Structure formats: C-alpha cells, structure tokens
Structure 1
Amino acid sequence: MNVLVLDDAQINVTLLCLLLKKIDNCNSVSFIEPEPALLWCAGNVPDLVMVDYMMPTMDGVEFIRRFRELPGCHDIPVLMITANNELALRYQALDVGANDFLIKPIDKIEFLARTKNMLALRKSQRFLEDRAIWLDVEVKKATSEIRARERETIFRLSKAADSRDPETGAHILRMANYSRIIAEHLGLSEADQQLLLEAAPMHDIGKVGIPDSILLKPGKLTVDEFTIMKRHASLGYEILAGSSSEMLNAGAVIALAHHEKYDGSGYPGGLKGDDIPLFARIVAVADVFDALTSERPYKAAWEIDKALAFLEEGAGHHFDPKCIAAFNAGLEQILEIKNRYREENDDKKTFGAEWNL
C-alpha cells in the first residue's frame, strides 16, 4: 500500500514516514511541496494521501481539490493533518473530498489507528475494483461465446433456407461480407458493421415457406407464382421479428425490406428512398452483385464489369446511390472476398473468423 505524505516541514514528513513503517506492507512516498506531489499522482495512484493544511504555495484544501480532479483519484482516502481545529475548515475540507482529520500534535496511537482504518477502506475498494474488472471480463467472455453460438445457428439456418434454392453457403458469406464493407465505407460504426455482417445472412430465410415448385422452377415465374415468391420477404420477417436478440431483429428488418427499390417500385411495402431501412438498402446491393457474378444451374456468371455497370445503371432507381458509391469505394476489398469464398469452398471451413472481418 502506497501512502503519499505531504507536509512543507521536513521534520513532520520524517516523523510520519517513521510511523508508517510500523504498519505492515505500507510504503511511504513523501513530498514537501504540493506541485511535485500532484505531478507524481498524475502518473501514480496512491492508496492513501496524508496532507498538511498550512503550506505556503498551496494549502491542503486546494491540494485535495486538485487531487480529486486527477484520473483514478476520485475515491482515494485522504487524511488531512492540521493544527487548526476550526469547524469551518473541516467543512471546507470535507466539501472538496477529505475523508478524515488528525490534529497536531499527532498522537501516535490515534495516527496508527486512523491510518490502518483508511488503508483497510482502500483495500476494500481495490478488492471491489478488481472483482468488478474480473466480472466484466467474464461477462464479456460469456457473451462472446453466446454470440458465437448464435451466429453459427443463424448461419446454419440461413444455409438450410438457401439449400432449397440454387444458392450456397459461400453466397451467404460473400454477400454478408460485401454488406459489411459497404457499411464501412458509409461510415457506420464498427458495432453496426459487425451487426450487419451477422444479420445479413438471414435475408432470404423466408424461402423456407415457398413451395419447391416455385422456388426451384428453372424458367420464368408466372404472375401468380411471382406473387407467391414475393411472400418470402414477409415470411422472413415473421420468423425473425419480436426476438430479444438485436441480431435477429436486424435480420427481420433486412428480410422484410431487401427487395424494396429506391424508386418505390419494390416489394413488399413499396417503400421509397430513405424510408427503406439502411441495412436493407446495403444488403440489396450486396445480394444482387453476388447473384449476378455467381454461376447457377439456370445461368452463367456475369463478368465483373457487366455487373458493375448494372449496379451503376440502377443507382437512384433500384439502389441507393450512396450505397453504390460505398460499394465502389470498397471494390478492391469486395473482389478479395469474392475470390476468397468460392463455391468449391462451400463447407464447414467457410464458417468461423469470416464473421469478424
């Protein structure tokens, strides 16, 4: 335990330091001027401060006030030592943060008792601080494990939904990471980027409720069939909405709105412009780009330049122009992701650190 001793009289400092040696595990750090003492406290947090009231350049009350303003020094026990027994001074010292007082001349027995009490208080504080830090680490660890399990469950459910469609798990990973990159270049926070990365794979989970005869039809859908197909957006929302999970709720919003178009011609709500949730506007760009540039049983993969031209043509109509600009700003990262998660890698190896890019 480190005790800071401050008194402008060297003989008083020497006496106090000698008395402190009688206390086990107690180390004294002494000063005869307030300014160097404050400077030391700025880089070191003492366990107890003993400060004289009457000092020429700065009195003890002002020292305590300035000491309390230092980071980490708000709750450190402070013992004021003074020859002044006036109540007004005590009230003033208490008001700026003094915890206890000793009146000169100092009684050795009283000094040791009060000092031990103060150090016992500080030990309790340190124990609680250490306990709080330990609990915070454990809570974060447990939360991280829960989030990891939740992410894996969502990934596998999303992959199960896509397994009924000519899509792949690699598609899920690509479009989710594309979405995160777009969010990054839109200036979204790292927390929102991570949330979008985790929620984007759920965009088509409503396809579990679409009949195979429609979902797997190789040719163009009839008007009635397309009406049924469009229901997957609302079905996905119904599956995911109302959860206590922030991730699932974000997934619900994306599932419902990722087929909305910036000009209002999309479905299911015909939303327009910024009325479409931002996450859904982002996912719309990521999903369409990956669909265009991926080979499927019913189509060949588009060339990158052709897909990019399609996105540019759709800016302001199908897509949010800001999302297209962010996509283009992150194009190098997006193409790296596309190359990393190819269809032939579509297995368990694709799940893991990808969710933390």
Structure 2
Amino acid sequence: MWPTHGAQALVLIVDDNPENLTVIGELLHPEFSVRAANGGRRAIDLAQLHPQPDLILLDVMMPDIDGFEVLRQLRAMPATAAIPVLFLTALDDADSEAHALRLGAGDFITKPIRAPSLLARVRTHVALKQARKRLDTGPLHAPSAAGWQHSGLGLLQQLARSCHPDGQRHLEQVAGVVAVLGEELRRSGVYPEAHAPGWLQALVQAAPLHDIGNAAVPERILAKPEALNAGEWNAVRAHARLGADALVQLTVQDGPQPTLVRCAREIARSHHERWDGRGYPDCLAGLAIALTARVTSVADAFTAMLAPRPHRPALSLAQAREAIRDGRGQQFDPAVVDAFEARFDALAALMAAPATAVLDEPGLAAGLAA
C-alpha cells in the first residue's frame, strides 16, 4: 500500500476498517514507513516479519480476535514482546483503558483521532524505542559532556523535550535552577558531596531527563483537567521507575560508572521522593534520597508552578516561593530550600530570562568549570 523507506521507522497499523487504515496510513506515511493489517491474526504474523515494526497502532474491536488478545500474544512471544503498542480505538471507557495498560500498552488513544496528537504520540514512542534499542546494543561510553551528547542519552534528552507539557522551556529552566542551587550548596559547604569533581556539571546536564518516563504515560492522563482516579495516578507514578529503567543499561569500560550516568538515573527515579518519606517510588526519606534528586525536586516543582496546567492556572513568583517554603522539611530538603531562599533573586531573574539566556546566570560558568 505504501512504499517502504529503509531509513524510516516502521509503523504497523491494525484495523478491520479499510478507511481507517487508509486515513491513518496517509497521515503517517510522509514521516514513517507503514505496514497495514486488517485483522488481529494478520497483525501477529506481520509483527514477526523482518523488518519488524518499531511501533504498532492497534484497534480493539475486530472480528477475528480483539486487540487485547493480540497484545497478550505479542507480549508472550520473545520476538515481539518489546514492540511498543498504542491502542487506537472507539472505546472510551475507563475499564478498557485500565485493561490495556495492565496488558502493557503504551497509550490508549480514542477515536476520532486528532492528527497532531496522534503524530506527536507516535513520534515520542518511536523515539523512545530507538533510544532503548541503542542502549541495548552494547555498552555506551559517556565519560564527558561531549560523549553524552553523542550517545543514546543524547537522543533521550531530545525525547525528554516531547514528554513535558512545557517542552524545551521547562527543561532549560530546570537546568538553570539546579545550576544555581548546586552552586549555592557548594558555596555554603553544607554537603561536601557537592564539591565532588564533575558533580555540578552532571547535575545540570542530567536534570532535564527527570521526566523521561512520561513517554510511557498516556497523553489523556497527562492532559486530564480533573482529578486522576487510582489507576491513572498509578500510571503517572510509574514514570519515575520507567525513566530510570530507560537508563539502567548505561555502562562504561575500565572504571566506575561516570557521575553523569549515575546522576541521570538517580534523578529520573527519585525526583518525586519526599524528605518526609511520603514520596514515590521507593518511599525514601531524608539523606537516603540522592542529593541530585533532592535538588531537582525543588527545581522541578518551582518551575512547574510557574506554568499553567490543565487542572490549574500558573502561580505567581510569590506564590511559588511560598509553596517551596511551606515544603521545607516535609517535601523538600531543608538545606536545598535554604539555598533556594539565598538565591531567590537570581532564580526570579532566571525565570524571566529568554530561553537562550536561561543558563547565563553571572558567575555560573565559573562555578560549572570548578
């Protein structure tokens, strides 16, 4: 139906409605190679053919076997178990979505489709699949910032921008805030580990990966304006573990794991832990939480408060400052909040700066080089 281009990612579309196959295929074809199946059994056969699809868009209600059974069989076969599957269906009930997520679906997209949204989700999941593939092919070396940018983690940094509602702007702000907080912690001397060689550089480069696991959380949940139900909340909480899992295979030869790689994993897994032990995913408390994650927790919360969300408007600088203060000793490390207070004027200026200037805090370059 559509010509295959070797350099493009391959998407398998599964739907018993020929019109749906045509419409979705034409939407994806300029950017992806496309393969189509008009039923569940055919989909299982095509998923095993070389080249295997990088992503499967799967309908639920089909006459031979339904999409849930297709996914169950795909997950049971080693050759197809790791292929990302997004449901694209007319079903819109919470039970069907919860069942799909339990089976291992990456997303549950309801018809009628919105072309920009579908394209964004396909791009995100294909990019994550490709990044994981690069991590699976062998050890990656990330001994320096330059190595980081050209490794699988560099691709993950690009993916991180598509996983957050504020995209590049939020990630740049988080990097800028952790840089200022880390520099202040070094100046105060409260945590000697902040003086370790490469610690601050690694923190600034790794912090933007904090929400990389959001690529596996359905868009409908991330954009929901109402309160999340228990199943949806569990899906959101899973992003911390999934983000760390995406980085777990990074290793280096001839030496210990570099600060940069360790830092990325710490932050991805633990940036939602709380000082009082009531966070997730591991319910860590106090100094048991990595310092990199404790710093990123404050930076992420502060910058997120200043941007609107589906369930609330943006907070003012004064309101965000008060919320961080209120979290001292409960959600946040007291010493990090003290650093936040000590450098609040600089942080306020950082939030008002244009995107390209977000890391231009005076004196910061010297601090990063130290």
TM-score range normalised by the length of the shorter chain: 0.5 to 0.7
Instruction: Find out whether 1:194 has 2:201 as its counterpart.
Output: yes
- Name the CA distance, whole Å, in 2 between partners of 1:148 and 1:173: 16
Q: One-letter code of the match for 1:206?
A: G
Match of 1:332 in 2: 345
What CA RMSD, in Å, does the superposition of the two structures yield over aligned residues?
2.6
Q: One-letter code of the match for 2:229?
A: T
Show the 5 A alignment for 1:227-266: 227-244=234-251, 246=258, 247-266=260-279
- SS of 2:163's equivalent in the other structure is helix
Residue of 146, 158, 161 corresponding to 2:160? 158
Whether the 8 Å CA contact 1:242–1:249 is kept in 2: the answer is no
Runs of at least 5 residues in structure 2 that lack an aligned partner in the other structure? 1-142, 187-193, 253-257
In structure 2, do the counterparts of structure 1 residues 264 and 143 end up closer, same or farther at CA, with 3 Å as the change threshold?
A: closer
Match of 1:272 in 2: 285
In structure 2, do the counterparts of structure 1 residues 299 and 325 end up closer, same or farther at CA, with 3 Å as the change threshold?
A: same
Instruction: Find out whether 1:225 has 2:226 as its counterpart.
Output: no
Match of 1:146 in 2: 147
- SS of 2:205's equivalent in the other structure is helix
Show the 5 A alignment for 1:338-357: 338-341=351-354, 345=355
Q: Deviations over 1:176-224 (max 9, x none)?
A: 1101111111112372111100000000000111122212212110122
Which range is displaced more, 151-160 or 234-243? 151-160
In structure 2, do the counterparts of structure 1 residues 148 and 240 end up closer, same or farther at CA, with 3 Å as the change threshold?
A: closer
CA drift at 1:297 = 4.5
Whether the 8 Å CA contact 1:170–1:350 is kept in 2: the answer is no
Match of 1:204 in 2: 211
- Name the CA distance, whole Å, in 2 between partners of 1:161 and 1:290: 16
Runs of at least 5 residues in structure 1 that lack an aligned partner in the other structure? 1-141
CA drift at 1:256 = 0.5
Q: One-letter code of the match for 2:177?
A: Y
- Name the CA distance, whole Å, in 2 between partners of 1:297 and 1:225: 15
Q: One-letter code of the match for 1:280?
A: A
Q: Relative to total residues, which structure has the larger helix share, 1 or 2?
A: 1
Residue of 301, 306, 316 corresponding to 1:303? 316
Q: One-letter code of the match for 1:289?
A: F
CA drift at 1:146 = 3.2
CA drift at 1:285 = 0.4
Q: One-letter code of the match for 2:236?
A: M
Q: One-letter code of the match for 1:209?
A: A
- Name the CA distance, whole Å, in 2 between partners of 1:272 and 1:328: 22
CA drift at 1:230 = 0.3
How many percent identity over aligned positions?
Answer: 30
Q: One-letter code of the match for 1:233?
A: A
CA drift at 1:301 = 1.4
Match of 2:180 in 1: 181
Larger Rg, first or second structure (1 or 2): 1
In structure 2, do the counterparts of structure 1 residues 326 and 211 end up closer, same or farther at CA, with 3 Å as the change threshold?
A: same
Whether the 8 Å CA contact 2:350–2:358 is kept in 1: the answer is no
Whether the 8 Å CA contact 2:277–2:284 is kept in 1: the answer is yes
> TM-score normalised to the size of structure 1?
0.53
CA drift at 1:148 = 4.4
- SS of 2:183's equivalent in the other structure is helix
Whether the 8 Å CA contact 1:186–1:326 is kept in 2: the answer is yes
Residue of 211, 214, 217 corresponding to 2:221? 214
Match of 1:69 in 2: none
Q: Deviations over 1:84-138 (max 9, x none)?
A: xxxxxxxxxxxxxxxxxxxxxxxxxxxxxxxxxxxxxxxxxxxxxxxxxxxxxxx
Aligned residue pairs: how many? 207
- SS of 1:270's equivalent in the other structure is coil
